[in-house]
Amino acid sequence: MYKTIVVHVDGSPAQDARLRAAARLAIAQDAHLVGSSATGISWLDYALLTGSMGAPMMPESDFNGVREAVQQRLEHFLTAAQRLGVESVESRMIEDDSRYALLLESRYADLVVVSRESEPIPVPGVAATARGLPEYVALHGARPVLVIPPAWHDQPLPGNAVVGWDCSTQAIRAITAALPLLQQSDSVKLVLINPETLTTAHGEEPGADMALNLARHGVKVEVVLERTRSTPGDALMTFARDTSAGLLVTGAFGHSRYREIVLGGVTRALLARSATPLLLAH
């Protein structure tokens, strides 16, 4: 079970969808929900902005305005979470960049909820959001990240789940992290894309051992061998869409830019285009 869930609060248009998803999970898991919002100002920025390391770069009134704007976001978050029926909820303002703030919060949580895309919100002098936030937190954090599409509209979560299985350590970590949701899923499809390319890793019966492991955890699982010329990312997204999946689970991979282009960038493709809530772990 997830007992502490952190949701990113930035006041962007995508916030409503991820808050509704986080609230739904918090209620279903009987979890404590934490709304985390960052000023976008690190301790070094603070020193520069207040002039303690030279001439101030921002008037103190503007700096206070940033903090007040963040506080207002958090007050709106608390009101919305309580309206959605979350019983255990709190808000936290972090004096740092959004990426590092969420990394800090994730250490003491079971799940971090962010949006697939997050447009920067104009704030005097400082951007309060960071691009590449889901990827950064998934690759650098110790906890799983649930990425909610901006257009998510209260579909079943988890509902039917799709799990991308390639025998990697990242996929194992994602499956382990997703167990509380997979156990609640109506059905779980363990999808292997072109398994013959990894015959040694998959064994004589691809997917059978992982399916057995999941079944022992009470997961209703079915192995699906998907043979396609599409990239693994596109194949998983298509399968999730065709099966009306409410959750897609996969390992998060980080490569050099060159390898990302050559390999098709599965993680990058999913983060950019998945219309299904995506649970990542690295």
> For 96-132, what is each residue's pLDDT tens digit?
888 999 999 999 999 999 999 644 444 444 444 456 8
Q: What is the CATH class of 4-148? A: alpha beta
Say how far apart CA 51 and CA 54 lie, in whole Å.
5
**What is the strand order of the sheet 187-193 is part of?**
89-94, 32-38, 4-8, 111-115, 145-148, 278-281, 247-251, 160-164, 187-193, 221-226
Say how far apart CA 54 and CA 239 lie, in whole Å.
56
User: In Å, how far from its chain's centre is CA 242?
Assistant: 22
H helices within 116-265, ranges in order? 133-140, 169-182, 199-202, 208-216, 232-242, 257-263
pLDDT at 257 over 60: no
Can you list the positions of beta strands (E) in the chain? 4-8, 32-38, 89-94, 111-115, 145-148, 160-164, 187-193, 221-226, 247-251, 278-281
- Reported as a pLDDT band with limits 50, 70 and 90, residue 83 is very high
The confidence score (pLDDT) of residue 254 equals 65
Say how far apart CA 140 and CA 123 lie, in whole Å.
26
The confidence score (pLDDT) of residue 59 equals 56
- Reported as a pLDDT band with limits 50, 70 and 90, residue 40 is confident
- Reported as a pLDDT band with limits 50, 70 and 90, residue 188 is very high
Q: Which residues make beta-bridge pairs with 201?
A: none
Domain-by-domain residue ranges, the chain? 4-148, 160-281
Least confident among 15-29, 41-55, 226-240, 251-265: 251-265
Taking the CA atoms of the chain, what radius of gyration do you get in angstroms?
Answer: 20
pLDDT at 258 over 80: no
Instruction: Kindly state the average pLDDT of the residues 26-49.
Output: 84
Instruction: Kindly state the average pLDDT of the residues 153-167.
Output: 95
The confidence score (pLDDT) of residue 125 equals 40
Residue 282: strand, helix, or coil: coil
Under 8 Å between Cβ of 136 and 99 = yes
Q: How does the average pLDDT of the chain come out, rounded?
A: 87
Instruction: Kindly state the average pLDDT of the residues 146-154.
Output: 94
- Reported as a pLDDT band with limits 50, 70 and 90, residue 52 is low
Superfamily of domain 160-281: HUPs (3.40.50.620)
* Chain length of the chain: 282
pLDDT at 155 over 50: yes
The confidence score (pLDDT) of residue 152 equals 95
Topology match between the domains 4-148 and 160-281: yes
* Verdict on whether the full-model pTM lies above 0.85: yes
Residue 172: strand, helix, or coil: helix
